Structure 1
Amino acid sequence: MSPARTVLIVGGGVSGNALAVLLRRSGVEVDLVELSPDWNVQGSGITLQGNALRVLREVGVWEEVRRAGFGFDTLGVVAPDGTVLHVAEDIRTGGPDLPATLGIRRPDLQRLLTDAVRASGARVRLGRGVESLTQDGDGVDVRLTDGSTGRYDLVVAADGLNSPTRAAIGVDDRPEPTGMGIWRVTAPRPAGVERTDLAYGGPAFIAGYCPTGEDSLYAYLVEPARERAELPPSSYVEEVRSLAAGYGGAWKEIAASVTDPSLVNYTWFHRLLVEGPWHRGRVVLVGDAAHACPPTLAQGAAMSLEDALVLAELLTTRTDWDEDLLTAYRERRVPRVRLVVENSVRLGRWLLDGVRDADVPGLIGRTMAVLSERP
């Protein structure tokens, strides 16, 4: 009997964790290394569309995600003063048996995925990264930052937007800011908030919120990107409250609850799509290491999860782990990912440029129709 194949996954975020579970289910030996000693358990909230939930069901954590999060099927568009202008039925991109959208606290999603990785039997090493990679035709020799070494049939770079592994293997693509920044905050869920409502205009480009559980909510305000040096953490509460003061409805209660700067996060929107091969030899990119987009379509995590699903399917159904397999993985993913990246950026560009006759519903509808198909 031939020995089990071995994979090193670099990065324990959404795509890395999902891939570890899917590969272990088929008997692949998996090591997962994550630089963060706490395994990335921080964060505010995340919005997951149905196609992301479909992958989480394949991973085996859907029921736990359903119980921890808050699912809904409509999207509200409101005026800055809180007046409801339109309520749309969302497309169930994951199929009729999954909600169109689910909000969940990022730490809760991460905990459920890391529990699944542990239960799968993957070997997890936290607080460590990759120091060096040396390849030949049969495998990859890896040295970690703690001095330990190993040899693997495949290395998967799931180490995020600024992936050191991507740079180490000579992929020169880098993320580019799109000109927008986003404030994110965790807050108690006001009574009556049972879906995402988006306000366009007012002090911010977008003011929105998403219920993430029975008692919690994730709120966000999108503005022109500002230098982070101008925004010390001590100012975060004041900044959010100042922007939120321009909105009515649930925002009054949300703003009043924002008192702890540690629960507020500020980041820029970025665009990334690696245009050439997503692999070099036996090292391959997944998730944000290969592509990233503004959250204007709420598809970033979904695209990363789909990467994990497609790569796992190819690795566990093909005999040869070769150039053709890794090329097929990229070719299967690029059209779908490109659609999401370009349309996510386009939505943001319309806001930055003040385009008033943009067909936002049409663009979203066409994108979601494509994403309803399996990846």
Structure 2
Amino acid sequence: MTAVRNVAIAGSGVAAMATAIQLAKSGVDVDLFERKTGLTTVGSGISLQGNALRVFDALGVWEDIRAAGFPFEGLNLRAPGPGAPIVAELPDVKTGGPDYPAAMGMPRSDLARILHRHAEQAGAHVHFDSEVTGVIQGGGGVEVLLNNASAGTYDLLIGADGVHSAVRGLVGIETEPTPTGMGIWRAFVSRPAEVERTELYYGGPVFIAGYTPTGDGTMYAFLVEKAQDRQGISAEDATRIMLDESRAYGGPWNSIRDDLAAGAAANYTWFTQHLVPAPWNRGNVVIIGDAAHSCPPTIAQGAAQGLEDALVLTELLVTRDTLDQQLWDDFHARRLPRASAVVEASVQLGQWQLDGVRDADVPGLMFSVARQMAEPA
């Protein structure tokens, strides 16, 4: 017996697909609705910490994820300048435990395809070009409106529809993401053989320059700057700006610039932050993942926290008999403290850079959160 028999999920990101996989595997009838016309991703690559890899194993997708990505251990810090010397080689806390790499990178498009395939194999029904435009609660269920027409009544609607969640607004949750004051350029480029782990450069014309390997011959590069209005610029100008802002950084950045000069696409987004206070549910509707919390990727925990939301929620839904207040209390008790710790630490790390604080204990804060994440959610 499960607490739900049929569930609607809004969104198609990692939290949405993870939820669909787990519920469908347990015999729940799952309809996943995505407003876009197909699988599309924003950005280039994604960094996944060990606690995210642990969730992938619980989903039954870890072998496919590992084969498509680039696992690694540790973190290098390099100095700006022509030689880009490595100034520190830092170990990572293995947040997933000893059975998993400390971290890995992979193309976002590959991750999306793998999760989508497993969701459908588990029995979930994935519907594209289907925007959730209304919810009507009553009688112990929720009627979901798609493109302003009824799609039927479900025991539960899960809003895993991202930072700009429609479901969040439809149920009257007023918390919204706010800019942190930083913006990031990203580009998908070739990987020089010397890059075997994430490397970061602090200082120079931007706050952080870095890159993460995503495969045998690929990586994604990024530059974190003070947030600027970059709307409306052409693709050519975006690539030129990223190329120009990277000129203070040597080492593997020389190869990155060659790719940018050859036309590698650059995209730009602002960092945001928000944390919806408990409860994340309103009756038979709940939000998870980026809909419930967002933060700068300064400790690369965004995807992991969405995956943990999905795993904890589905565990409760398939092991309880009733969708009652005790279930929601247990969900919030397990998720709010961890999500809050990640949001607060991620924002603090960025704020120290914005404020020019030079004596901040950055490693101490990062390792403190990592140790907390090493305990299963």
Relative to the length of structure 2, the TM-score reads: 0.96
- For 1:45, the equivalent position in structure 2 comes to 45
Distance 1:147 1:49, change over 3 A: same
- For 2:30, the equivalent position in structure 1 comes to 30
> What amino acid sits opposite 1:38 in the alignment?
G
2:23–2:318: 8 Å Cα contact kept in structure 1?
yes
1:80–1:246: 8 Å Cα contact kept in structure 2?
yes
CA distance in 2, matches of 1:168, 1:259: 44
1:50–1:92: 8 Å Cα contact kept in structure 2?
yes
Please list, as runs of the form range in 1=range in 2, the aligned pairs for 1:223-234 lying within 5 A after superposition.
223-229=225-231, 231-234=233-236
Q: Which runs of 5+ in 1 are unaligned?
A: none
> What amino acid sits opposite 1:196 in the alignment?
T
Give the SS at the match of 1:76: strand
2:160–2:289: 8 Å Cα contact kept in structure 1?
yes
Distance 1:325 1:260, change over 3 A: farther
1:284–1:326: 8 Å Cα contact kept in structure 2?
no
1:44–1:263: 8 Å Cα contact kept in structure 2?
no
- For 1:116, the equivalent position in structure 2 comes to 118
Deviation of the 1:182 alpha carbon: 0.2
Deviation of the 1:276 alpha carbon: 3.5
- For 2:277, the equivalent position in structure 1 comes to 275
Deviation of the 1:2 alpha carbon: 10
Deviation of the 1:3 alpha carbon: 11
CA distance in 1, matches of 2:264, 2:30: 34
- For 2:62, the equivalent position in structure 1 comes to 62
- For 1:155, the equivalent position in structure 2 comes to 157
Backbone CA RMSD of aligned residues: 1.6
Deviation of the 1:143 alpha carbon: 1.8
Tell me whether 1:13 sits opposite 2:42 in the alignment.
Answer: no
2:3–2:323: 8 Å Cα contact kept in structure 1?
no
Give the SS at the match of 1:295: coil
CA distance in 2, matches of 1:301, 1:255: 28
- For 1:299, the equivalent position in structure 2 comes to 301
CA distance in 2, matches of 1:263, 1:29: 40
CA distance in 2, matches of 1:84, 1:326: 47
Distance 1:78 1:27, change over 3 A: same
CA distance in 2, matches of 1:27, 1:261: 47
- For 2:73, the equivalent position in structure 1 comes to 73
- For 1:236, the equivalent position in structure 2 comes to 238
> What amino acid sits opposite 1:310 in the alignment?
V
CA distance in 2, matches of 1:72, 1:270: 27
> What amino acid sits opposite 1:76 in the alignment?
N
Deviation of the 1:260 alpha carbon: 6.6
Give the SS at the match of 1:204: coil
Deviations 1:107-151 (A, max 9, x none): 011111011111111111101111221101410111211735211
- For 2:179, the equivalent position in structure 1 comes to 177
Deviation of the 1:319 alpha carbon: 0.6
Deviations 1:294-318 (A, max 9, x none): 0000000000000000000000111
Distance 1:13 1:261, change over 3 A: farther
- For 2:339, the equivalent position in structure 1 comes to 337
What is the count of residue pairs matched by the alignment? 375
Q: Which shows bigger deviation, 147-156 or 170-179?
A: 147-156
2:134–2:148: 8 Å Cα contact kept in structure 1?
no
Displacement over 4 Å in runs of 4+: 1-4, 259-262
Deviation of the 1:35 alpha carbon: 0.7
CA distance in 1, matches of 2:207, 2:241: 15
Deviation of the 1:261 alpha carbon: 6.1
Give the SS at the match of 1:30: strand
2:189–2:218: 8 Å Cα contact kept in structure 1?
yes
CA distance in 1, matches of 2:144, 2:372: 39
Distance 1:260 1:134, change over 3 A: farther
Deviation of the 1:263 alpha carbon: 2.7
Relative to the length of structure 1, the TM-score reads: 0.97
CA distance in 2, matches of 1:297, 1:191: 25
Deviation of the 1:36 alpha carbon: 1.1
- For 1:369, the equivalent position in structure 2 comes to 371
